[in-house]
Chain A
């Protein structure tokens, strides 16, 4: 279908789109620019500028600034705070107990600490923390968690979750916030999610809003709202499923993904999964196309075609040879989000160096 009119208003007008435009025009922005306050548009004075009289000479001001800087440095070293307020990093506040940035603990009354790149935040069994990232989102850190800030800023914000639980609420552009775990990398695509990692490095990601990409070594999983995905060291991301799936469905899926089993045993588990799959489980079945052994892939194709018929451009042969374009087209048919969102922002998310 030619969508030039939808794209830029050129080409033959589409009457249906015109009707929608006309109907929705009443919601269009019509407001005039408000009277903006002039004073607030100027640069906010730096902390030290507030203490310098405006008529001071530049040299005097510079000398005063140097003295203040040296004094502040001394105070900071003496106080052994987690980080100075002037240092780059993400703001961390204690919600409960005394979380630690590096070796320095801070309580609820200590104000915010800074988590700098390369530094570690640890919560014990009684402490919780909240990380605020300007224009990116917030990350709530549960007890018994250890994480590191791997990179921050310039559209590349990255945490490494060694163990524990975090709740991420991200409003940055898709792909700008990632979390490394020992067995997969979680890539935010505009959402809210909870990520858990146990001491063995096994992880579980639960998406509440939007969706998350889970990836390791070319093994990828898309996890929309309401879905869950496990990950294991040496295996990488498992197959995502909706959290209202039956216990037997989830059990078979776990065995299929992570159990050390023979091909016959995997085929048997796959058969159970396909037999139990509901319409909503097209999410899981689509992922199984790439995970199933070649000899079983035809069964997966047939089941998914029953649940969600493939678009016209998708052929059985193409899917059996795992044609990426066809797989993506079929994914888009599931109504769970456009895979181009992932492809557009996909980068080479290699595991972080530790």
Chain B
């Protein structure tokens, strides 16, 4: 098997040290290295339309807290934890405006602005990925959406390569099953593991796709 070399994270320490001293270029370097990871972790948890804003918010939160990071080589896992934390905050804040969002049609909540057929398909696939167990969806989004390789995901997030590989394999297996069920029609409606939102959205999208 040919394995792509794991990304170099050894330079993180010097970037972290420089960023702590106020070097904006160094923090920009960290952003360049980790923005996809942050984006992918968020996309696995919050509506796609809000992810870009939250990516910047995560970095802006991390910046003043760099001095709290004891081990500069653990920047990736530390940032991943902040990102998951931010996603949780997002939902805590959303509860305050739940009455407003609940009045929106479920199947329109995450649709892209231009609802062309390819976009709809992409939204449907993303909904399926996000319906997978936690262990799989984050890793699978980093691989399929953000284009990161398995070794890169492991190096950036701090997970072991073995765990990432298993998550990718099992996640892909479950995703294939869900896509297969959807293409056959029907059975997806009985799948309780699909979130309420995703199910409703997928139903609608599938119906639209099947219309002449």
A293 within 8 A of B: no
Cβ of A49 < 8 Å from any Cβ of B? no
| A17 interface contact, C-beta 8 A | yes
Report A1-32 CB contacts with B as 1/0, cut-off 8 Å.
00110111111000011001101111111010
Bitwise, A120-157 to B at CB < 8 A (1) or not (0) is 00000000000000110000000000000000000000
Q: Are A42 and B150 in contact (CB under 8 A)?
A: no
Are A41 and B27 also in contact (CB < 8 A) when A25-B145, A28-B147, A338-B136 are? yes
Contact B85 A338 (CB under 8 A): no
> Which segment of B100-108, B160-168, B203-211 sits at the interface?
B160-168
- Contact across chains for B122 and A26 when beta carbons are under 8 A apart: yes
Q: Kindly identify, within residues 72 to 110 of chain B, every residue whose CB is under 8 Å from any CB belonging to chain A.
A: 77-78, 81-82, 84-85, 88
What is the CB-to-nearest-CB distance from A152 to chain B, in angstroms, rounded to a whole number?
A: 14
**Chain B nearest CB, measured from A329 CB (Å):** 11
Contacts of B126 in A (CB 8 A): 24, 27
B156 at interface (Cβ–Cβ under 8 A)? Answer: no
Most buried by B among A36, A37, A337: A36
Does A33 sit within 8 A of B, measured CB to CB? yes
User: Are A36 and B136 also in contact (CB < 8 A) when A7-B165, A41-B23, A344-B162 are?
Assistant: no
Q: Which residue of A lies closest to B87 (CB)?
A: A171
Chain B, 147-159, contact with A by CB distance < 8 Å: what is the 0/1 string? 1011100000011
A6 engages B77 (CB within 8 Å): no
Q: Is the Cβ of B3 less than 8 Å from the Cβ of A8?
A: yes
B172–A17 CB distance below 8 A: yes
In the complex the two chains form, is A3's CB within 8 Å of B168's CB? yes
A24 touches B145 (CB 8 A): yes
User: Which residues of A sit under 8 angstroms from B40, Cβ to Cβ?
Assistant: 29
Determine whether A310 belongs to the interface, using a CB cutoff of 8 Å to chain B: no
B19 located at the interface, meaning its Cβ lies under 8 Å from any Cβ of chain A in the complex = yes
Do residues A337 and B135 form an inter-chain contact, with CB atoms below 8 A? yes
Contact with A along B121-137 (1 / 0, CB 8 A): 11001100100011110
B21 touches A41 (CB 8 A): yes
A29 partner, pick from B35, B158, B163, beta carbons under 8 A: B35
Is there contact, CB below 8 Å, between A171 and B3? Answer: no
Interface residue count for A (Cβ, 8 Å)?
A: 48
Is A50's beta carbon under 8 Å from chain B?
Answer: no
Beta-carbon nearest neighbor of B172 in chain A: A6
Interface flag for A312 (CB, 8 Å): no
What does DSSP make chain A's interface, helix, strand, loop or mixed? loop
Nearest residue, chain A, Cβ from B3: A8
Q: Within the assembled complex, what's the spacing in Å between the Cα atoms of A33 and B160? A: 28
Give the chain B neighbours of A21 by CB distance below 8 A: 144, 147
Are B78 and A135 neighbours in the complex by a CB distance under 8 Å? Answer: yes
Contact indicator A33/B21 (Cβ below 8 Å) = no
Question: Would you call A172 an interface residue if the criterion is a C-beta within 8 Å of the partner chain's C-beta atoms?
Answer: yes
Cβ 8 A contact of A338, one of B23, B56, B121, B133: B133
Q: Is B119 an interface residue (CB 8 A)?
A: yes
Encode contact with A along B162-179: 1 for CB under 8 Å, 0 otherwise.
110111111010111000
Give residues of chain A (321-354) contacting chain B, Cβ–Cβ below 8 Å: 332, 335-338, 340-341, 344
| Closest chain A residue, CB of each to CB of B23 | A41
Q: How far is the CA of A20 from the CA of B124 in the complex (A)?
A: 11
B64 touches A44 (CB 8 A): yes
- Please, which residues of chain A bring their CB within 8 A of the CB of B184? none
Residues from chain B with a CB closer than 8 A to the CB of A262 are none
Query: Smallest Cβ distance from A23 to chain B, in angstroms?
Result: 5
Check B193–A23 contact: CB distance below 8 A: no
With A41-B63, A332-B170 known as contacts, the answer to whether A173 contacts B81 (CB < 8 A) is yes
CB pair B21–A338 under 8 Å, yes or no, is no
Measured CB to CB, the nearest residue on chain B to A40 is B64
For residue A344, which residues in chain B have a CB less than 8 angstroms away from its CB?
159-160, 162-163
Query: Is B133 touching A337 in the complex (CB atoms < 8 A)?
Result: yes
Q: Is the CB of A33 within 8 A of B20?
A: no
For the complex, give the distance between the alpha carbons of A289 and B192 in Å: 25
Q: Contacts A33-B31, A44-B67 known; A4 to B82 CB distance under 8 Å?
A: no
Given contacts A7-B3, A7-B168, contact A17 B22 (CB under 8 A): no
Select B36's contact among A29, A43, A135, beta carbons within 8 Å.
A29
* In the assembled complex, B43 has its CB within 8 A of some CB on chain A: yes
- Beta-carbon contacts under 8 Å, B6-32 to A: 19-24, 27-28, 31-32
Residues of B within 8 A of A (CB): 1-4, 19-24, 27-28, 31-32, 35-36, 39-40, 43, 48, 52, 55-56, 59-60, 63-64, 66-68, 77-78, 81-82, 84-85, 88, 112, 118-119, 121-122, 125-126, 129, 133-136, 143-147, 149-151, 158-160, 162-163, 165-170, 172, 174-176, 193
Q: Which 4 A-B pairs have the closest CB atoms?
A: A29-B39, A8-B4, A10-B2, A8-B149
Task: Give 14 A-B pairs besides A40-B60, A344-B159 with Cβ atoms closer than 8 angstroms.
Answer: A6-B143, A7-B3, A7-B150, A21-B144, A27-B145, A31-B35, A34-B31, A36-B27, A38-B22, A38-B24, A41-B23, A41-B66, A135-B81, A190-B134
